[in-house]
Amino acid sequence: MVSLKHSPGTISFHLPSAPHGQADESESFPRLLRKDSTGLLVFPLAGPPFWGLVNSAWSLCAIGKRQSPVDVNTSQMVFDPFLPPLRLSTGGKKISGTMYNTGRHVSFRPDPLQLVNVSGGPLLYSHRLQELRLHFGSEDGFGSEHRIDGESFSAEVQLIHYNQELYPNISEASRNPNGLAVISIFIGPSPNPFLTRLLNRETITRISYKNDAYLLHDLSLEDLYPETFGFITYQGSMSTPPCYETATWILIDRPINMTSVQIHSLRLLSQNLPSQIFRSMSDNSRPLQPLLHRSLRGNRDPRRPTRRCKGGNYRLHVDGTRPPKTVM
C-alpha cells in the first residue's frame, strides 16, 4: 500500500519495505526522490518537467511553442549576410559587480550604477546587461543548455540583457515583446582571461554555499568573448520560470576555454546552506525543448563551415576601439 501526502511544491509518499531478497522500489524512482525526517519519500515538483504544474503563472513552461534551450541543427540555419556585428558598450570602463551562489546558478550581477550595453547582430534596440549565469555539468562534455548539431559542452555562460529603450527594468521587459537578449558562450577545456578572474580560488571559495556573495572589481567583459566568432540567433524563452517567450538568443559559435581546475571548483559549489547536506550545483540546465517551426539565422555560411572568420563582422566591436577593416 502506498500512502500519499501533498504539500505546496512537493508530493510525499511512503512505499512499503521490499520483501527480503527483492529490490527496494524506491531505487527505481528518479534521483529527485529524497526522504524527509519522517521517512517519507519526497518528490519535489520544482524540477523543469513540473514547472508548468506547480504555478499557473508558469504555464508557458509546459505549453509554450517557443521555449529554450534547443539543439541547433546547423543544416537548418539560414545564412543572413546582412546581420551586423555585435557591439559592446561599457563607457570605456572596466566593470565591477557581485558574484552570487543562488542555489541554482553561479550568478554575476554588475554594479547597477554602471551601464553595460549590447547592440547589433539581430537586435533592433540597445540592451542592458542584467546578469551573467553559468550552467555546467558533473562530467566533461556535458552541462551546456544548448547543443550544436547534437554536441553538448562542459558549460555555458549566459549574458542576460533587457531592452532598456522600451522598458524601465528587466521585470517589465521579460513580459513583453523584444524584451530580452541572451548571449550564450560555450565552454571548452583551456583558460579564458575573464573566467580566470571570475573563478580563481580566492573568489570561488567565497561562494561555496547558497546565498554566499562576493564583490569583484575591474573586470574586462570583452575578454569573455572569443577573438573572432560567428553567431546563430533564434527567438525563444528564458530557460527558467516563468519561461516568457520574449528572448532573442544569440549563440556564439566558437567556444571559449576554462581549465579543468576551474570546472572542478564549480562542481564543488553547493545548492544548499552550510547547515544542510552538500548537493553539487552541477547539471543545472533545463532539458532541450523542441524547435518546432522557428527559424535559425546565422552570420556564417553553413555551406562553407571551414571558412575562417575574417574581418570586422566576426569580431566584437567595443566602444572606444576602432573596428578592423572588413575583409571580403
Look up residue 172 and give its amino acid. Answer: E
CB 43 within 8 A of CB 29: yes
Neighbours of 292 (CB within 10 A): 10
The residues facing 238 across adjacent strands are none
Nearest to 180 by CA among 191, 164, 192, 196: 164
The verdict on whether 244 is a catalytic residue reads no
Neighbouring residues of 108: CB distance < 8 A, sequence distance ≥ 6: 97, 98, 99, 100, 131, 132, 198, 216
The residue from 167, 225, 244, 314 that is catalytic is 167
How many other C-beta atoms lie within 10 A of the C-beta of residue 255? 21
Angle 180-182-186 from CA coordinates, rounded to 5°: 175
| Contact between residue 87 and residue 68 where contact means Cβ atoms under 8 Å apart | no
What gap in Å lies between CA 26 and CA 140, rounded to an integer? Answer: 29
The C-alpha cell at 293 is 517551426
Q: Are the C-beta atoms of residues 15 and 35 closer than 8 Å to each other?
A: no
* Positions marked catalytic: 167
